[in-house]
Structure 1
């Protein structure tokens, strides 16, 4: 799954990286600890040159009131689930990230958080689906992140991972039909994904500063075990 992420690249670098401009009300603020229910920076198939913010958690269209929503969708079954079917067919998006966080279950102890990122780029895209939940005069753009089986980096940490798109697949994800996008929903196969242990500061979403991504300090950090290449 993907239950926490970050985006802290500077605005001009972010816009250059994705060849899109920030259109969010209030502008852009780098963030190190983004939790479900908070806004995520996205690029949708309907505005490929714009970076906007959508509520993290796809709110079911049948909900009477806004709610936190569904933060992840299994890519293998998204086309079968009523809540995701329309979005799967026609509303793909890129969810922009500088790295996401995952927790490894220890032997009977507390879970150990890891930061997972790409070594080749300060920001990358995860595959998402977007929707606009509407009720009376309310309209909330919302998004869910698609997940898949873990790759070799993620297997020691968790049994799922977000669909991380190769840079040259990002435009394709937005423009492809549903069958072609299904083929892109694979464990990330390139050798630039890496992971390292961080402190439990990330467990509290109020901790939103560069200290969150600092490597955990102890004699054997485990970094070598989970970096690729």
Structure 2
């Protein structure tokens, strides 16, 4: 799954990386610990040159009340779930990230958080779906992140991972038909993702500062150090 995200690249670099401009009402501020229910900056298929902010948690359009929403959708079954059918049909988006977080509980012990990031790219894109929930008094633009089977790196940490798109597939994700998008929902195929242990400070969403991403003991742990 993907239950915590970050995006702290400088705004100018973010806009250059995705060839899009920030249009979110609240602008853009670096975030080191984005939790479900917060806003995620995303790029939708309907405005590929804009970076907007949507509520993280897709609220089914048929829901009576705007509850927190669904933060992840399994890519293998997304077209079978009524909550996602409309979004899967025609509302793909990119979710920029400077790195996401996952927790591993070795031998059932205390969960250890890891930061997963791209060594060669200060911001990468995860595949998402967006929708709009409309109530009597409010309208909420919302987003969910698609997940898939883990690649070799992630399999030692968790049994799911977000759909991380290679950079050359990002435009295709936004423009492609459903069949092509389904083919893109796979474990990240490249070897430039890295993971390392971080402090449990990330467990508290109120801790939203650069200290969150500092490696334990100031040393990044490579895959070989925690592979099972």
Q: Please indicate the TM-score interval, normalised by the length of the shorter structure.
A: over 0.9
1:225 is aligned to 224
In the other structure, the counterpart of 1:41 is 41
C-alpha distance 22-61 of structure 1, shift in aligned 2 (>3 A): same
Residues 26-63 of structure 1 deviation map (CA, whole Å, 9 limit, x = unaligned):
21000000000000000000000000000000001121
| 81 and 178 in structure 1: CA distance in 2 versus 1, 3 angstrom threshold | same
Aligned-partner Cα distance in 2 for 1:119–1:38: 26
TM-score by length of 1: 0.96
Contact 2:120-2:192 at 8 Å conserved across structures: yes
Correspondences of 1:185-200 after superposition (within 5 Å): 185-200=185-200
- Retained in 1: the 8 A contact 2:153–2:223? no
Q: Secondary structure at the match of 1:27?
A: coil
1:92 alignment counterpart? 92
Unaligned ranges ≥5, structure 2:
none
Asked if the contact 1:151–1:189 (Cα under 8 Å) also holds between the matched residues in 2, the reply is: yes
CA apart distance, 1:108 = 3.0
Give the 3-state SS of the residue equivalent to 1:154 in structure 2. Answer: helix
Per the normalisation by structure 2, the TM-score is 0.96
Q: Secondary structure at the match of 1:48?
A: coil
CA displacement, residues 98-156 of structure 1 (integer Å, 9 cap, x when unaligned): 00000011223210000000111000100000000001131100000000000000000
Q: Spell out the pairing of 1:43-192 with structure 2 (5 A cutoff).
A: 43-192=43-192
Q: What value does the CA root-mean-square deviation take over the aligned residues?
A: 1.5
2-side partners of 1:181 and 1:212: how far apart? 33
Unaligned segments of structure 1, at least 5 residues: none
Q: Counterparts of 2:108 and 2:132 in 1: how far apart (Å)?
A: 41
Corresponding residue of 2:14: 14
Structure with bigger helix share is 2
CA distance in 1, matches of 2:191, 2:74: 23
Q: Distance in 2 between matches of 1:94 and 1:87?
A: 13
CA contact (8 A) 1:45 1:93 kept: yes
Moved more, 106-115 or 206-215: 106-115
Secondary structure of the residue that 1:66 maps to in structure 2?
coil
Tell me the number of residue pairs that the alignment of Structure 1 and Structure 2 aligns. 227
Q: Distance in 2 between matches of 1:184 and 1:224?
A: 24
The structure 1 segments of at least 4 consecutive aligned residues displaced by more than 3 Å after TM superposition are none
